[in-house]
Structure 1
Amino acid sequence: MKQIALSEFDDEELFFLIKTQQSRTAYAEIYHRYWDILWRFALRHQINPDEAQDTLQDVFTALWQNRAKIEIKTKLSSFLYRATLNQILKKVDRQKVIATYIQRLGDKMKEQGLLIEEQIYEKELQSNLEEALREMPKKMRQVFEASRFEELSHEEIAQKLNISKETVKSQIKNALKIVRKHVNSLLFNFL
């Protein structure tokens, strides 16, 4: 009696052998029959040939591992194309998720870095302002603090400290020169 070669079996007969008899030779026949066609199909959807190859490895591995559970209601070729496309879409979705996560992580790190940088800058600014205040004569510091921290008008400061409005303006002008000198050095250091 003549033995029939597996190449003469149709796809459904080969899959039946894979499913019921765990036939590795039938599996190899399907693998060789569809590898090139599916690889070109995957390559059209994935730029990287290595990714296309990985996709097909996943498809054929799943075919073998799940052979007992798989119910093919159409042609095996349609099933394999659909499985390949699903695998491609899964990888694309995973890559999008990873890209989104990396983008968000980068944004978060940048944001955290800026927050830390802002905190450092704020502390430096506070320190420089305190240094500028220590450098001012007592009366100038009182005028400046009343203007900037208590938010009093020039007239209110003049009344509170019993000095003229012109003296208040002059003291604030001179105090701002001292403050700018300290703040400008900070700005120069951070640039």
Structure 2
Amino acid sequence: MQLTEQEIVGAIRQGNERIFEVVFRKYYQSLCNYANSILKEMEEAEEIVQNLFSGLWEKRSDLEINISLKSYLYRAVHNHCLNRIKHLKIREEYQEYATSYYESSYESVGQTVMKNELEQRIHEAIEKLPEQCRVIFKLSRFEELKYHEIADQLGLSPKTVENQVGKALKILRTELAEYLPILILLLDGIVKLNIEYWYL
């Protein structure tokens, strides 16, 4: 029986995995191709589309679509791609600024102590993570592996990997809460520290 789009959305909202999988298979590749046309990087494009569908399923009970399902998905991918480009641009601009700044300045003794202390606390906080959580977080942030690569390496689902990274970040934020003022200074370029993994 042919379902209307509203019936499809309703089925997904109610947790119908079969219908969700049909939608995923129908639109996945074309959405990846569309994202790739914007980002010019297929792996990034695939990650954005995978995260989109993952988010849809995770928040399915709140799913409200007032336009065609196809238009909704393409618009969502478009917005995610623009956000990704903006994020990369901000990071690139910061790195250019930091390089320029540190070539013409030097760290004071106090800054060095602050940096070393924070590095030590971050290291200790990471080592206190549950074993699987710690391993996945290090592979994601230090080895820069994609979720699906970590999943393949550890024999887990990409969703499990995503959940474990989220859990690690939540724990680290709690552990390092007292250092947030210092962290803000670091991200403003006052002290050079390799903590890019802090970014979500």
TM-score (norm 2): 0.51
Give the aligned partner of residue 41 of structure 1: 34
Q: What stretches of structure 2 of length at least 5 have no aligned partner? A: 107-200
Q: Judge conservation of contact 2:9–2:65 (CA < 8 Å) in 1.
A: no
| Structure 1: distance between partners of 2:27 and 2:18 | 14
* CA displacement at 1:71 relative to structure 2: 1.3
| Structure 2: distance between partners of 1:70 and 1:87 | 17
SS class of match (2:61): coil
Cα distance per residue 1:74-127 (max 9 Å; x no partner)? 1111110111011101110100110011011101111115xxxxxxxxxxxxxx
| Structure 2: distance between partners of 1:37 and 1:9 | 21
* CA displacement at 1:9 relative to structure 2: 2.6
Q: Judge conservation of contact 1:42–1:84 (CA < 8 Å) in 2.
A: yes
Specify whether residues 10 and 36 from structure 1 end up closer, same or farther in structure 2 by C-alpha distance, changes over 3 A only: farther
Give 1 or 2: higher helix fraction.
1
Q: What stretches of structure 1 of length at least 5 have no aligned partner? A: 114-191
The one of the two structures with greater contact order (alpha-carbon pairs below 8 A, sep at least 6) is: 2
| Structure 1: distance between partners of 2:77 and 2:24 | 13
Q: Does residue 69 of structure 1 match 2:62?
A: yes
| Structure 1: distance between partners of 2:68 and 2:76 | 12
| Larger radius of gyration between Structure 1 and Structure 2 | 1
> What is the aligned length?
106
Give the aligned partner of residue 161 of structure 2: none
Cα RMSD after superposing both structures: 1.3
- 2:12 partner letter: I
| Structure 2: distance between partners of 1:33 and 1:91 | 24
- 1:95 partner letter: L
Give the aligned partner of residue 12 of structure 1: 6
TM-score (norm 1): 0.53
| Structure 2: distance between partners of 1:88 and 1:12 | 26
Q: Which one of the candidate residues 58, 68, 75 is aligned to 1:82?
A: 75
| Structure 2: distance between partners of 1:83 and 1:67 | 15
Q: Judge conservation of contact 1:11–1:30 (CA < 8 Å) in 2.
A: no
Give the aligned partner of residue 111 of structure 1: 104
Stretches (4+) displaced over 3 A: none
